[in-house]
A and B are shown apart, each in its own frame.
Chain A
């Protein structure tokens, strides 16, 4: 069978079209007086970043983590605690606090991954959940950082020459970071690393006997995903100027996992498709129905039965 080249060449254009739309979105929204939705679009991209990082684990590597919110929350608290404890420019600078949030996410993922990746299947799911819940309860009890009330930030992080306080500016910064993350994930997927991960997902024993250091590949993926989730947390803390332990609760992990499955497991655009679909439905449905969550449930069921490969899978035969 010959490769339908025209098909795949056609595919290469729509990411550019999507990027163009994303670049023009604030102007388009402003034209119709919907400026409020710029922050909503930013939220979609941050959740898409979080979901995409989880997709690397679940979809590509077959590691079903139900504790991904731990890294998300840890990144958010890194930014908030830095600003609270040290205030002033070096601590509130995005150039310091955002990479630090990624580092915290990565280190936490290295620790949790080193333990949990020794288990498989449901035992892996439950042990990642356990560690995230422990972190949740730790932050719940840290009264000096707000406990269960959470903690407000006085202002967004600062960048030299760029005012992140303006919603439109912050939108473009998040868009740039998300685009870079997607490019990186796409490259990883096509590289040897991604192929090895997919191999591990399909048949771990075979990859092991072929001589691949399976555990090390999985741990590196786990750390990468943790760092990316940490960045998403830092951005979400910035967007809301608020962080709370609920960001790392297991239900948050569950929602992100649902976004990934809904969007398309192991597909580059799955995280974005899932996050956008979920958040848009949650935004739109309540306007039409009092008990809209029933309809949301029915839609999700329909996806399971009629689009088993997720939303991003619909566009690919």
Chain B
């Protein structure tokens, strides 16, 4: 019995970790290459979820809805880069914090103005609403399995894009030494815009996939933004591989914390106290993970800068 529970929580951790990776991949690249602290990254995730929910309703089908949402969010992301963020690259980190905080305020309020204050209903598509029996006795949600498959597919694509293509080479050059990449004649300006569009599309994908599981509401971006930053720091700034490993670590530790810490506490604490302390300890677990990683490797697991 507990073996099955363990397996199920492993899958949950993997599923959440992969979605965190979609967010952290864009964040770490923007941070590592453009040296930009983008607090508004979570707003793109929120926008992606809202657009996917709305467009799914409009088109009447999940797949075209999500595809259109990805495209639209990528366009918004590139527009944002072109209009505001581009002018922040040369500024210090604190100006970037203030400016992207302002963008969060604008994005949240605009979302409230367009979609209202009530959370949006976004259901799991009917074809995926059932569950699949993976092992005798272990049945698992088909939608969550799809998320895992999509996450792994995107991770593989990103790996090929960054490791095997010319644009990926430029991205890696930019991450390890931006000044040198520019000096060698890379058109950094255009690269940044494209990169930002890809990052925004990844945000939208995470928002569209997590939307039916979590609530689609204003403020959803800020909650997950912090987790994404934890992932980036654990993995090492600018490293997509680090973001992958960090995201899976955070996803599994967070899920296991929520599932097992309250259970374990109940073994040797009075139930009332265990129920009160359990969720908090679980929430604290990822921060402890981050501090431990930083004590061990102050630049994160895969430092990309020489």
Q: Which of A's residues lie within 8 Å of B, judged by CB?
A: 58, 64, 115, 118-119, 122-123, 126-127, 129-131, 133-134, 137-138, 140-143, 147, 250-251, 254, 257-258, 261-262, 265, 290-294, 296-301, 303-305, 308
Contacts and interface: CB of A to CB of B under 8 A. Distances in A.
Contact of A119 (B230, B279, B298): B298
Given A258-B101, A294-B106, A251 B294 contact: no
B98 A300 contact: yes
Interface string B265-290: 00000001000110111011001101
Given A64-B93, A257-B97, A126 B290 contact: yes
Contacts of B4: none
Given A127-B290, A130-B290, A305-B87, A262 B98 contact: yes
Nearest to B272: A143
Contact of A126 (B93, B110, B229, B276): B229
Contacts of A134: 284, 287-288
A294 B109 contact: yes
Contacts of A254: 101
B91 A301 contact: no
A290 B116 CA distance: 12
B237 interface: yes
Nearest to B286: A130
B101 A130 contact: no
Contacts, number: 115
Contacts of A305: 87, 99
Contacts of A303: 98
A133 B287 contact: yes
B294 A300 contact: no
23 contacts: A58-B94, A123-B233, A123-B298, A126-B233, A127-B291, A130-B291, A133-B283, A134-B284, A134-B287, A141-B281, A142-B276, A251-B222, A257-B97, A261-B95, A294-B110, A297-B102, A297-B109, A300-B101, A300-B105, A301-B84, A301-B102, A303-B98, A308-B95
Nearest to A115: B291
Interface string B103-121: 1111011101100000000
Interface residues of B, number: 45
A296 B291 contact: no
Contacts of B105: 293-294, 296-297, 300
Nearest to B237: A122
A297 B103 contact: yes
Given A127-B294, A301-B99, 5 more contacts: A133-B287, A141-B276, A258-B101, A292-B109, A294-B105
A134 B288 CA distance: 9
Contacts of A299: 102
B44 to A, nearest CB: 16
A48 B37 CA distance: 25
